């Protein structure tokens, strides 16, 4: 996204045909625009940018299927005020893979008398299907867990690798 909020496309990925490259590029732009404009009203557009079997892996959730992803996002709107995703940069990481750097901000505690601001910086690895819609979305970030401290686990509950390379799964 540019600073004005409009999508800026890196060069399309190599694909088996120009038509396929255009489908993938249009799908990438549509999905990123969906996240950048996400509200309870626009949530219904998920079907146009994600396949039925889409999987969203996040350190806080593992939602399998479009209905589960939509339910997770609906719960986000119930728990927070003014959630916002800002796409900072993106690039193709392969023929069907997007690599996205983003910021998430919101105010936690919508249903509680005490609220606090939240800001999370992260990266996503997003895989597109042949039709240009998303089939897998993996988030990587060290956002706070229930305690307010960064969670030690990675996407879909897998242990996060330690910088020194030592195994943390055991």
Reduced 3-state DSSP string for the chain: CCCCCCCCCCCCCCCCCHHHHHHHHHHHHHHHHHHHCCCCCHHHHHHHHEEEEEEEEECCEEEECHHHHHHHHHHHHHHEEEEEEEEEEEEEEECCEEEEEEEEEEEECCCCCCCEEEEEEEEEEEEECCCCCEEEEEEEECCECCCCCECCECHHHCECCCCCCCCCCC
Mean pLDDT of the chain: 82
Per domain, the residue ranges of the chain are 18-106+117-141
pLDDT value of position 60? 83
Please tell me the least confidently modeled range out of 42-51, 54-63, 109-118, 130-139: 109-118
Cα distances (Å, whole numbers) of residue 34 to 15, 29, 45, 95, 152: 24, 9, 7, 21, 29
When computed from its CA atoms, the radius of gyration of the chain, rounded to whole angstroms, is 17
- When pLDDT is averaged across residues 126-138 and rounded to a whole number, the result is 98
Name which residue leads in pLDDT, 151 or 131: 131
- When pLDDT is averaged across residues 108-130 and rounded to a whole number, the result is 87
pLDDT value of position 168? 45
Name which residue leads in pLDDT, 137 or 108: 137
Name which residue leads in pLDDT, 120 or 158: 120
The answer to whether residue 8 scores a pLDDT higher than 70 is no
Q: What is the pLDDT of residues 66-78, one digit of tens each?
A: 999 999 999 999 9
Torsion angles phi and psi, residue 92, rounded to 5: -75, 135
pLDDT value of position 14? 58
CATH match of 18-106+117-141 with 3.10.450.50: yes
pLDDT value of position 162? 45
pLDDT value of position 35? 96
Answer yes or no: are the C-beta atoms of 54 and 136 closer than 8 Å. yes
Name which residue leads in pLDDT, 71 or 155: 71
Q: What is the pLDDT of residues 12-57, one digit of tens each?
A: 655 568 899 999 999 999 999 999 999 999 999 999 999 999 999 9
pLDDT value of position 5? 46
* Strand 97-108 versus strand 50-58 pairing type: unpaired
């Amino acid at each position: 996204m540019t600073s004005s909020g409009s999508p800026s496309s890196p060069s399309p990925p190599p694909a088996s045909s120009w038509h396929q490259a255009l489908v993938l590029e249009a799908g990438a732009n549509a999905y990123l625009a969906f996240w950048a404009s996400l509200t309870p009203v626009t949530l219904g557009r998920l079907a146009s940018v994600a396949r039925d079997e889409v999987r969203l892996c996040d350190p806080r959730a593992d939602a399998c299927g479009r209905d589960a992803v939509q339910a997770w996002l609906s719960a986000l709107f119930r728990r927070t005020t003014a959630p916002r995703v800002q796409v900072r940069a993106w690039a193709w990481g392969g023929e069907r893979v997007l690599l996205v750097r983003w910021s998430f901000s919101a105010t936690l505690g919508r249903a509680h008398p005490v609220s606090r601001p939240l800001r999370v910086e992260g990266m996503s690895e997003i895989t597109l299907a042949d039709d240009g819609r998303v089939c897998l979305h993996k988030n990587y970030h060290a956002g706070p867990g229930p305690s307010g401290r960064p969670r030690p686990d990675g996407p879909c509950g897998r242990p996060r690798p330690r910088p020194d390379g030592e195994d943390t799964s055991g």
